Structure formats: C-alpha cells, structure tokens
Amino acid sequence: MPENTVTEQLAPMEPEDVAAAFAYIRARLIGDIDTAGAIADDAGPEQLHRLLVDVAARVFIPVTAVDDDDGEPCAHSFLAAALGRLLLELLCHSVCLSSLPGIADTITRFTANILTDDHGEVAGVLRQLEAAGMKQAMEAHPAHRTTA
C-alpha cells in the first residue's frame, strides 16, 4: 500500500486524556448528561474541547485518508458518499461542531455511519478506539503505567 502523504503521524495523547475524552463521548452516547457535565467540569471546557478534537482527528483521519491509486477508485472510494451523508445529517440537526457535545456527537455519528454496519456496535467500536489510543499513550508515556 502506498504511503499516504495527506496525513502526518499524530503525537500520542496522555493516558488520562484518552480516558477523559472517551468517558465524555460514552456519556453522550448513552444520554448521561450529568456524567458528561461532570467530566467537562473536571477537565475544563477548553481542555476537553482540545481532547475531543484530538480524538476526532484520530478517528476520522485514518479512515478518510484515501491512498493515491493513480486516480482510479480504490477500496476507500465509498467514503466520499458516506462522508457527504454524514455532513448532511449534521446540517439537518444544526450541530455546532465547535461545542463539546457537537464534537462528541460527531465522533459517535461518524462511528455509527462509517465504522460500523450495525448502529448497535457503536459502543464496542468506541471501546476499541479508546483501547488503541490508550495503548499508544501508554507506550509513549511509560511513567503512567500502573503496577498490577
């Protein structure tokens, strides 16, 4: 597979940042507004905003980065139509993409519309994404490892 020149390697997040961001996303997914609010208060809205944008980049970029295949349709060509549907859905729901709920809900919708075939799988895929982010964070920041 050719090297994708559109994206650059993202620096690993801190483990506690991965945990906070995904805890907020999961709380929004299940409609637990109290927990989502408590996480936002604990992290601080500006910090949580940065974390959610970081998670969004890690979720969206690897999926939407289509490798150059000499201009021919490749395995990821379906993404343009799917992303178009997602953007239309966001516009229909008047989502503010710069708000904490807007970013978290966009990550959830992206996961539902692009990364899963069955919308019931969203929570599982989010757990997988969190585990991958946590693994990368722990490898990059070994001082955060806990002893069992």
What is the mean pLDDT of each successive set of 10 residues along the chain, which is 148 residues long? 43 92 94 96 92 84 63 63 67 73 88 80 92 91 64
Q: What is the C-alpha end-to-end distance of the chain, expressed in Å?
A: 39
Residue 5 is predicted with a pLDDT of: 33
Determine contact, residues 53/91, Cβ cutoff 8 Å.
no
Query: Longest Cα pair distance anywhere in the chain, in angstroms?
Result: 51
Residue 31: CB partners within 8 Å, gap ≥ 6? none
Residue 24 is predicted with a pLDDT of: 96
Q: What gap in Å lies between CA 148 and CA 144, rounded to an integer?
A: 13
Q: What gap in Å lies between CA 119 and CA 108, rounded to an integer?
A: 10
Residue 69 is predicted with a pLDDT of: 60
